[in-house]
Structure 1
Amino acid sequence: MQDWIIYLDKVFLPFYRLLSDPVLAYFLGTFILAVICVFLGEFLVGIAFYANRHYVKKLTDDLVNWNNLSVEAVKKGDTEAYHTFNKEANEVYGKLFFLTIAHSAAFLIPIPFVLAWMQFKFGGVEFPLLFNVPFIGNSVSYIFTFIVLYLPAYWLFKKVKNRLPIYRYFNQIMQESSEAVKEMKSLADLLEERVKASKAKHKNIVKSKA
């Protein structure tokens, strides 16, 4: 048995001894572990984002810059410049996209450790269901119960997240890093401008004929 499993056993097992009823104690303990996974996972996401905040901001600024240049190129009718700027924008977007995925993956890091411990402790336990469920059967394992309890744990976190200083701070720096996106132009805006210009031109023609 690996040492970290033994250590987790000492840390997690007390959560399953808070109630005398073994079934209720199991669900309470598993819910507490789900809460820990959510809070710790979100904390790791915040740490990862904080460590890369300057790089994220640079990529975001570059994305806005290249995108706006490509829109301006379309506005001027410069097809070659548009393709050049748009290619640069797509490359930066790809970097930002995969970096975002990497940050999001940090949210899931605690779960495998918790499930590994639960496999060690409750791997042979099955919870009978009142009726047979398609694709599931008439009983479920610790994984199913963990997932079911993980959902309300996540909901609870969303309710209290902004009341906790460290998470509020992480959320603030994430919002600050994405502020530049508001300056991004789009081809839809350009099309709207051209439609308005066309309508104004049409009105002027009608007035001149009148």
Structure 2
Amino acid sequence: MNELLDAVLIAPFRLPGNAVAGFYLGTFLLALASLLLGRVTYDLVWLFNRRHYAREEAEMARMHNLSVAAIEAGDKAAYKAANKEANEAFGKSFFAGAALFSVSVWPVPFALAWLSGRFEGLDVPFLPGHGLRYNAVFLGCYILLRLAAWPLWQKLPGFGRVERVRRDTAARRAKLRAWTDLAKPAAPRE
């Protein structure tokens, strides 16, 4: 299995006749494959757990809005209780988001480990008189691809559908009241 995977991964590196061009092409394609595999995993995990994420975010918004309402009503004890719960809900939501992000980058360390086994200690020409290591080239390609792909996900088949579901879910999410709303004078009653 390892030999088969190695043969598949090394093939793009051998396509051009030039070793340097092959390294850049192979590394670019490996970064692209890592990005796509990570995004597919991210979307699947999000789809599977979206109700959980929605509940976490709804609870965070509810408790935050209750804390704002308590301050507005001048109830310090209610504010402290609601704010404590809002902070806890924010922490849960934040770390759920962090875990979800980590799902999108899981292929990166595996790609870097494979590159290390193949290209450790080699400098690839970059600018005249300067070379780069495999990890700098891979991470540069990966980051540029990730930034370039950000606006494209919604246009790609399959990914676009998940993006629309994600946007629809976000649109239905309860809105957080801004603390600046407290500084606004109340509208006159007629």
Instruction: Please indicate the TM-score interval, normalised by the length of the shorter structure.
Output: 0.7 to 0.9
Aligned length: 188
Offset, 1:64 = 1.6
The aligned residue for residue 36 of structure 1 is 33
TM-score under structure 2 normalisation?
0.88
Tell me the SS of whatever aligns to 2:64.
helix
For 1:130, give the aligned amino acid: P
The aligned residue for residue 98 of structure 1 is 95
Offset, 1:32 = 0.6
Relative to structure 1, the CA distance from residue 154 to residue 187 in structure 2 (aligned partners, 3 Å threshold; closer, same or farther) is closer
Q: Deviations over 1:126-154 (max 9, x none)?
A: 124534xxxxxx43211111122223322
Aligned counterpart in structure 2 of residue 59 of structure 1, from 56, 62, 70: 56
The aligned residue for residue 115 of structure 2 is 118
Q: CA RMSD of the aligned region, Å?
A: 2.2
For 2:23, give the aligned amino acid: Y
Offset, 1:173 = 2.8
For 2:95, give the aligned amino acid: F
The aligned residue for residue 151 of structure 1 is 143
In 2, the alpha carbon distance for the partners of 1:184 and 1:14 equals 51
Tell me the SS of whatever aligns to 1:52.
helix
- Aligned residues with identical type, % of pairs: 29
Relative to structure 1, the CA distance from residue 29 to residue 178 in structure 2 (aligned partners, 3 Å threshold; closer, same or farther) is same
Aligned partners of 1:16 and 1:26 also within 8 Å: yes
Q: Deviations over 1:39-98 (max 9, x none)?
A: 111222112211210011111111121111111111111111111111111111100000
Aligned counterpart in structure 2 of residue 140 of structure 1, from 129, 132, 142: 132
The aligned residue for residue 84 of structure 2 is 87
Offset, 1:123 = 1.5
Q: Which sections of structure 2, spanning at least 5 residues, go unmatched?
A: none
Aligned counterpart in structure 2 of residue 170 of structure 1, from 146, 155, 162: 162
Offset, 1:105 = 0.7
Name which structure has the greater RCO, CA cutoff 8 Å, separation 6+. 1
In 2, the alpha carbon distance for the partners of 1:168 and 1:113 equals 27
